[in-house]
Structure 1
Amino acid sequence: MKLYFSILFGFLWALGYGQTAQETTVEKGLHFTRLFRADPHEGVSCYRIPALATATNGDVIAAIDERVPSCGDLKWSKDINIVIRRSTDNGNTWLATERVVDYPFGQSASDPSLLVDKTTGEIFLFFNYMDLAHEKDVYYLKVTRSTDNGKTWSEPEDITSQITKPGWHTDFKFITSGRGFQTRSGKLLHTVVNLQKGLFIFESNNHGKSWQLIETPLKPADESKIVELSDGSWMVNSRVNKAGMRFIHRSGDEGKTWISTADSSLIDPGCNASLIRYNSEVDGDSTEILLFAHANHKTERKNLTVRISYDEGVSWSEGKTIYEGSAAYSSMTVLANGDIGLIFEKDDYSDNVFVRVSLNWLRGKKTSVEKVD
């Protein structure tokens, strides 16, 4: 029966059905474009865990979990696939949904994250995998690659042995969803969580041909984002459950040692967030800034806010509210036209919407928000 429905849905996808509709709503001047919403006619319970990135040709890729039997996470669902939508015009319009990772029933893939190698143009889509039928509660970490800006994807590669340690086999471990980071030297960086042992950084010095684990744990930390600062040091911004705030980890020696502090200015209910670097060239201003999107509330996943740091994460602006209501995981990218694209889980995970804003709007300058429809 699973095979029948997979063939049927694949046929419908090939014809252009399934998540082709593009509905845009306007709320307080912002235009929200619905990219993923569960439809009972598709037999999908929900879409969760979005990731967003801009390919080197300017195409925008949005990836997400397609959770079929329930909204449960990886260890509780025997059928989760990774699907994407692409935009070739800075998020104005979006192509139909495509499945890029789809295992047989009993095996699931979850928590997509994207990393674009700006040197080679290759895109890496990481995800976590489990064979619930034969090895329940054992997590494997995989990656699929695209060399044509997200049009086609390679067979997934298991990189568990490269980015974990042998004693971790039965540990609760996963690659953080959302996105990784590339340094100015070309090194590729990402984060992997081991709930028993801490957060770890993994890296590639050869454009993703192989990956290595940096064995120094960061604590406290759950799902996290890493960036390189202007002085070449690294900064990790971490979710810490029940803390009510984010934790910041800084390293001046490429991850060998870390200094960890709580940042009470970044309140947080315990939710994945998004952190990116923006090289500003607006109005002759060449200042490099950091952008941070998070659920700006101590106890509830709501009030999605984007903040700016002009001093490499030492302090943050009050921020601009994107959505006051229910809002959870988010992912940002810098678009080819210089705007900022953001996808987030909206209204108790029922919707996953894309919104585009300008840097001037985030800075509080009087300028209209770019319309996305």
Structure 2
Amino acid sequence: MIDTKLLPTFVAVYNVLLLCASCIRPDAQPVPWDKVTPTVVNDTIIWHSGSEGEIHTYRTPSIFVTPNGTLIALSGARKYSSSDVDRKFLAIRRSEDKGKTWLPTEFLVDDGYEQGVLFPGTLFADFDSNTLFVMFIHCQLKCKVPALLLINSTDDGVTWGQPRSISPRSNGSRSFHPGPGYGIRKRLEPHKGRFVVCAHGRPQDRPRGITLLLSDDGAKTWREGAFVPDGPCREDPEEKFWPGECQAVELADGSLLVMTRNRGRCSCSCKAFMRSHDGGQTLPLHDFFFARALIEPTCQSGLLYHRGVLFFSGPNSTTGRYNMTLKWSYDDGTTWEGELPIWNEMAGYSVLAEDPTDDRHLYLIYEKGVKSSVDFVAVTKIQLFNNIAFNGK
């Protein structure tokens, strides 16, 4: 039964989905001076489920490159099974040579329960203070309102401090589950310098949806920004639009583009997008659209805006988690120019990262397998330009 207090919001969501099932945004950015020609440099398995550290399954990976160029890989290490409810650890691996070699796995946090309640998580950095952060949720399954925690490192991920609570106030039982993915710090106005993290909720949340978490004081305190709740779908109002795992990027005009998993397959088996023009405080419904070229089997996916190009990673399928593929757009997601196959067998969650010390390469971390999509976690290094075309601009 729908809460009558939320009925106006649900009606608004329904109306925009009815009108915008195939919206094309008119304000896309122009094509950049150069076009990318992505190629795979290497693909390295960094976690083997069932064979390392007495961990049954490594899942939900994220990747980030620190201001010094160190690669940080994060995953949820599930001790006894691949289930979401299993006991978990925060697992970290570091690479100091652009992914050629990886240092041994470290386990940062143990959820402390035999039935797992810790869910990683998202990475981001304060480049001014050279501080690396991991935001994650604790007591996801056992508590009425789970705790949102932040842990930080000031030495490129070698050592970490103690987790601290940053849970914003919320009405009801809403939870804020960040990632997998990364947080961003706005480089442009409006609200230059603001940290933005996109978080999704739980099935039992009332209301359930996605929330942009905002910080204007260097990640010390956090508050709720835009919230997009579940709502009816245009084809059948009895069905729902269920936004799931989400990722925000900042475009060249300072606006935020937010991609979300379309869990209920509303309108299509593809990604849904929203856009904020006020630094994440609101996500106007008139900027909602579906990217029909970004098909999905309902799965978390990667999104990155780099040198004027929007990159996407995910299983290129509507029927199952396989065919990990990189796609790219020169017009902020209105059209998609090309695609690069990464792995043609089973594959699941993925995250993309740029390197602040190297404009020529991106990194992709993803769940990979043959028997299942979570046999391994792999990192792919991707070269964006061929040697002849690249002139250092």
Same fold (TM > 0.5): yes
Deviating 4+ runs (over 4 angstroms)? none
Alpha carbons 2:291, 2:333 under 8 Å: kept:
no
What residue identity is the alignment partner of 2:289?
T
- Equivalent runs, 1:355-370 vs 2, <5 Å: 355-360=380-385
- Go from structure 1 to structure 2 and tell me whether the alpha carbon gap of 1:31 and 1:138 turns closer, same or farther (over 3 Å shift): same
Using the TM superposition, give the Cα deviation of residue 187 of structure 1 relative to its aligned residue in structure 2, in angstroms.
Answer: 1.1
Higher relative contact order (CA 8 A, sep 6+): 2
| Equivalent residue, structure 1, for 2:270 | 245
Q: 2:345 aligns to what SS in structure 1?
A: strand
1:254-276 CA distance string (max 9 Å, x none): 33242211111111111111111
Is 2:297 aligned against 1:269?
yes
- Go from structure 1 to structure 2 and tell me whether the alpha carbon gap of 1:128 and 1:331 turns closer, same or farther (over 3 Å shift): same
What is the distance in 2 between the residues matched to 1:43 and 1:118? Answer: 35
Q: 2:172 aligns to what SS in structure 1?
A: helix
| Equivalent residue, structure 1, for 2:26 | none
What is the distance in 2 between the residues matched to 1:233 and 1:40? Answer: 44
With the length of structure 2 as denominator, give the TM-score of the two structures. 0.76
Paired residues in the alignment total 320
The structure 2 residue matched to 1:231, chosen from 213, 236, 253, is 253
Using the TM superposition, give the Cα deviation of residue 148 of structure 1 relative to its aligned residue in structure 2, in angstroms.
Answer: 1.2
What is the distance in 2 between the residues matched to 1:211 and 1:298? Answer: 36
Is 2:338 aligned against 1:318?
yes
The structure 1 residue matched to 2:71, chosen from 50, 60, 74, is 60
Q: 1:208 aligns to what SS in structure 2?
A: coil
- Go from structure 1 to structure 2 and tell me whether the alpha carbon gap of 1:260 and 1:40 turns closer, same or farther (over 3 Å shift): same
1:110-151 CA distance string (max 9 Å, x none): 22211122222211101121276xx35653221111111111
Is 2:371 aligned against 1:350?
no
Is 2:353 aligned against 1:333?
yes
Aligned sequence identity (%): 27
The structure 2 residue matched to 1:153, chosen from 156, 160, 165, is 160
Alpha carbons 2:41, 2:383 under 8 Å: kept:
no
Using the TM superposition, give the Cα deviation of residue 40 of structure 1 relative to its aligned residue in structure 2, in angstroms.
Answer: 4.7
What is the distance in 2 between the residues matched to 1:323 and 1:41? Answer: 23
What is the distance in 2 between the residues matched to 1:240 and 1:300? Answer: 14
1:205-224 CA distance string (max 9 Å, x none): 11101111114326542111
Alpha carbons 1:120, 1:207 under 8 Å: kept:
no
Alpha carbons 1:83, 1:98 under 8 Å: kept:
yes
Is 2:165 aligned against 1:189?
no
- Go from structure 1 to structure 2 and tell me whether the alpha carbon gap of 1:41 and 1:278 turns closer, same or farther (over 3 Å shift): closer
Is 2:49 aligned against 1:34?
no
Q: Please report the RMSD computed on the Cα atoms of aligned residues, expressed in angstroms.
A: 2.2
What is the distance in 1 between the residues matched to 2:282 and 2:195? Answer: 16
- Go from structure 1 to structure 2 and tell me whether the alpha carbon gap of 1:315 and 1:119 turns closer, same or farther (over 3 Å shift): farther
What is the distance in 1 between the residues matched to 2:326 and 2:140? Answer: 37
The structure 1 residue matched to 2:179, chosen from 162, 173, 176, is 176
Alpha carbons 1:333, 1:342 under 8 Å: kept:
yes
Structure 1 residues not aligned, in runs of 5+ = 1-27, 280-287, 368-373
The structure 2 residue matched to 1:88, chosen from 91, 96, 104, is 96
Deviates further, 61-70 or 137-146: 137-146
What is the distance in 2 between the residues matched to 1:54 and 1:30? Answer: 17
- Go from structure 1 to structure 2 and tell me whether the alpha carbon gap of 1:318 and 1:215 turns closer, same or farther (over 3 Å shift): closer
| Equivalent residue, structure 1, for 2:138 | 129
What is the distance in 2 between the residues matched to 1:188 and 1:182? Answer: 4
The structure 1 residue matched to 2:328, chosen from 297, 308, 316, is 308
Alpha carbons 2:64, 2:72 under 8 Å: kept:
yes
What is the distance in 2 between the residues matched to 1:49 and 1:39? Answer: 15
Using the TM superposition, give the Cα deviation of residue 172 of structure 1 relative to its aligned residue in structure 2, in angstroms.
Answer: 5.9
1:171-197 CA distance string (max 9 Å, x none): 565222121111102211011212443
Alpha carbons 2:291, 2:334 under 8 Å: kept:
no
- Go from structure 1 to structure 2 and tell me whether the alpha carbon gap of 1:131 and 1:273 turns closer, same or farther (over 3 Å shift): closer
What is the distance in 2 between the residues matched to 1:344 and 1:233? Answer: 27
What is the distance in 2 between the residues matched to 1:352 and 1:126? Answer: 20
Structure 2 residues not aligned, in runs of 5+ = 1-38, 231-240
What residue identity is the alignment partner of 1:51?
S
What is the distance in 2 between the residues matched to 1:41 and 1:29? Answer: 26
